[in-house]
Amino acid sequence: MKKPIILCDCAGMSNDQWLKCRAHGPKGDIPYTVGGSDVATIFGLSPWMTPLELWMIKKGRMKTPVKSNPDQLEMGHLLEPIAAYWYQKKTGNTVFDDTNLYQHADHPYALANMDRRYTRKVDGEPGILECKSCTYHKAGDWADDAYPLYYELQLRFYLSFEETKHGAFSCIWGNNPDNDLAIPELTRDQAKEDMIFERLDQWIWSLEHDKPPTMDDVKPKLALESLARIYGASQAGLPTVEFSPKYERQLRQIALLQGKITDCNAEIKTYEKEIEAHSVRIAEIMKEHEHGILTTTSDKLLIDFVTKTSKRPDSKALKEKYPAAYADVLKTSESRKLKVHIEPA
Q: Residue 87's pLDDT band (boundaries 50, 70, 90)?
A: very high
Q: How far apart are CA 94 and CA 88, in angstroms?
A: 6
Q: Are 30 and 108 in contact (CB under 8 A)?
A: yes
Residue 334 has pLDDT above 90, yes or no: no
Q: How far apart are CA 73 and CA 2, in angstroms?
A: 34
The string of pLDDT tens digits covering residues 279-296 is: 999 999 999 999 999 999
Q: Are 325 and 318 in contact (CB under 8 A)?
A: yes
Mean pLDDT for 23-29 is 91
Q: How far apart are CA 112 and CA 130, in angstroms?
A: 12
Mean pLDDT for 184-206 is 96
- Looking at 3.40.50.1100, 3.40.50.720, 3.30.1490.100, 3.90.320.10, the CATH number of the domain 5-221 comes to 3.90.320.10
Q: What is the 3-state secondary structure (H, E, C) of 169-228?
A: EEEECCCCCCCCEECCEEECCHHHHHHHHHHHHHHHHHHHCCCCCCCCCCCHHHHHHHHH
The string of pLDDT tens digits covering residues 218-263 is: 899 999 999 998 988 899 999 999 999 999 999 999 999 999 999 9
Return the pLDDT at 40: 95
pTM of the predicted model over 0.85 = no
Helix (H, G, I), strand (E, B) or coil at 9: strand
Q: Residue 333's pLDDT band (boundaries 50, 70, 90)?
A: confident
Return the pLDDT at 198: 97
Return the pLDDT at 315: 87
Mean pLDDT for 184-189 is 96
Return the pLDDT at 299: 96
Residue 163 has pLDDT above 80, yes or no: yes
| Average pLDDT of the residues of the chain | 93
The string of pLDDT tens digits covering residues 299-320 is: 999 999 999 999 888 889 988 9
Q: Residue 93's pLDDT band (boundaries 50, 70, 90)?
A: very high
Return the pLDDT at 30: 94
On the CB side of 137, CA atoms within 13 Å amount to 0
Q: Residue 72's pLDDT band (boundaries 50, 70, 90)?
A: confident
Q: Where are the domains of the chain?
A: 5-221, 240-294+338-345
Q: How far apart are CA 130 and CA 87, in angstroms?
A: 10
Return the pLDDT at 66: 77
